[in-house]
Amino acid sequence: MIALDRKRAYAIKRETVDLILEVSKESFPNEFAGILRCEKGVITEIMLLPGTISGSRSALLRLHMLPIDYTVAGTVHSHPGESDHPSRGDLQLFGKFGYVHIITKVPYGRNCWKAWDLDGNPYHLEVLGEESTSS
């Protein structure tokens, strides 16, 4: 397997975290799902894939819609509950695609997210950038 889809990230931009949390909140009670893009080890943005299906119990990414993009580092999705731990389905996806995966949880505040590696282990991401004034 080519290592390009296993791009490691050591940090994420504050504005990217804020965007992820806002989109998660706006999608509630449905799950939101997207792709994480990384530049020089820093997650800088999320990519939304056409055809993504979101429901109250899951979100389905149509990975075949993903363009060839060597900046992809992993996935992000929201849980419409109080758990930011990966489900069995999440772990299956993690093992097949990307290296870092972010899960958000209710109420989608600043501390309502966690990063995981491809094996489902907690993964530390440093948050870079100034504090946002949005809540």
Complete domains list, the chain, with CATH? 11-58+78-125 (3.40.140.10)
Catalytic residue of the set 15, 31, 126, 130: 31
pLDDT recorded at residue 53: 67
Between residues 45 and 61, the one the model is more confident about: 45
- Stretch 23-48: mean pLDDT: 92
- Stretch 35-51: mean pLDDT: 88
- Confidence grade of residue 71 (pLDDT, cut at 50, 70, 90): confident
Tokens of 5: 């889809």
CA dihedral 70, 43, 19, 26 (to 10 degrees): 60
Task: Please confirm, yes or no, whether 130 is among the known catalytic residues.
Answer: no
- Confidence grade of residue 60 (pLDDT, cut at 50, 70, 90): low
Assess contact for 58 and 31: CB atoms under 8 A: yes
Res 103 pLDDT > 50? yes
